[in-house]
Structure 1
Amino acid sequence: MVKVEQPLGIISVFIWVGMITAISFMEAWLKFRAPGVTLPIGLGIGRLVFGALNRVEWVLAVVVTAGMLFGKKNMVRQSLMGIVLLVLALQTFWLLPALDKRADIYINGQTPGPSSLHIYFVAAESLKLICLTITGILFLEKNKNYGK
């Protein structure tokens, strides 16, 4: 029987990677291509979906971080997870609320001024995705000889 150290951490990291990839890099722009989806409707859907994703991300963050705290220490993995937590906090407390305000302006039929918030959000998602992917790979590397 093969033993795996921190299976919940491994599973959680790769579920998280899949969710970011599917939602941030596919659903976010595809919904606007669907017939009948106007900008206000798409923005309303986006607010709902990204709000839900953010809450799920915090649950996954707790699971992965708790596993790291109680498992064997790995400075690289812990540093990468620290970056992920910082990015997630910035998204939760700054980027998502600011993007929601801009969405409200569009939904109310007005046009907000220019902003780089979406670029910052995509950069944050990209950084988070890279850090999580490397973290997942490090989890797997740690397990390649475990239990043999």
Structure 2
Amino acid sequence: MNHSLAALTAATAFTWLGTVVGVSLLETPLRFRALRNHVEEDAEATRLGLGIGRLVFRALNTAEAVLAVVTVVAVLVAGPTVAVAVLTGIVAVLLTVQLAAVRPFLQRRSSRVLAGEHPPRSGAHHVYVTLEMLKVPALIALGATALAAL
């Protein structure tokens, strides 16, 4: 694998990892906890959290898409090892499922909540979180495997 492209792959994987950890695992749970501690009505806290979350996740998903494209292009051009190619495919598929299948459902549901409706609980949020939890070790493995190719 080309050394400079292996370094770029590692850098994008670890940058991508940092965005996912920072937003999904730190900011989001803290946002809802802070809102519930400072907003008297739980429904209002939920609406505020969802409104902010939609903006934050739109930015996160945009950054992830850019990082995914850079990673995939670098790997395709680099003549990757099998491990790097497989790990790149895994993170790309996980992100694609999140963006194409789960996020639109969450967007529709959050729009209903923001409009004052009370839709039934959904498992889509848990699916999204599960995909994030799978993406974290895959990104760690991709970054480490790309670094090992240096």
Instruction: State the TM-score, normalizing by the size of structure 1.
Output: 0.88
Q: Name the SS for the 2:96 alignment partner.
A: helix
Normalized per residue, which structure has more helix? 2
Aligned-partner Cα distance in 1 for 2:134–2:33: 26
Q: 2:8: which partner in 1?
A: 8
Shift of 1:5: 5.3
Q: Does 1:17 align with 2:14?
A: no
Aligned-partner Cα distance in 2 for 1:84–1:7: 17
Shift of 1:64: 1.0
Aligned-partner Cα distance in 2 for 1:92–1:58: 9
Q: Does 1:39 align with 2:46?
A: yes
Aligned-partner Cα distance in 1 for 2:16–2:23: 11
Q: 1:130: which partner in 2?
A: 137
Q: 2:72: which partner in 1?
A: 65
Aligned-partner Cα distance in 2 for 1:38–1:115: 19
Q: Does 1:105 align with 2:112?
A: yes
Q: 1:146: which partner in 2?
A: none
Match for residue 94 of structure 1 among 57, 78, 101? 101
Please list the CA deviations of residues 87-143 of structure 1 after superposition, one character each: whole Å capped at 9, or x if unmatched.
111111111111111111211122111211111001101111111110001011112
Q: Name the SS for the 2:16 alignment partner.
A: helix
Residue 5 to residue 58, structure 1, CA distance change in 2 (3 Å): closer
Q: Does 1:52 align with 2:52?
A: no
Structure 2: gaps of 5 or more residues: none
Please list the CA deviations of residues 59-103 of structure 1 after superposition, one character each: whole Å capped at 9, or x if unmatched.
101111111111132111111111111111111111111111111
Aligned-partner Cα distance in 2 for 1:8–1:80: 15
Aligned-partner Cα distance in 2 for 1:79–1:6: 14
Instruction: State the TM-score, normalizing by the size of structure 2.
Output: 0.87
Aligned-partner Cα distance in 1 for 2:48–2:139: 31
Shift of 1:4: 5.5
Query: Aligned residue pairs: how many?
Result: 141
Moved more, 100-109 or 35-44: 35-44
Structure 1: gaps of 5 or more residues: 144-148
Please list the CA deviations of residues 4-37 of structure 1 after superposition, one character each: whole Å capped at 9, or x if unmatched.
5532222111110010001011111111122347
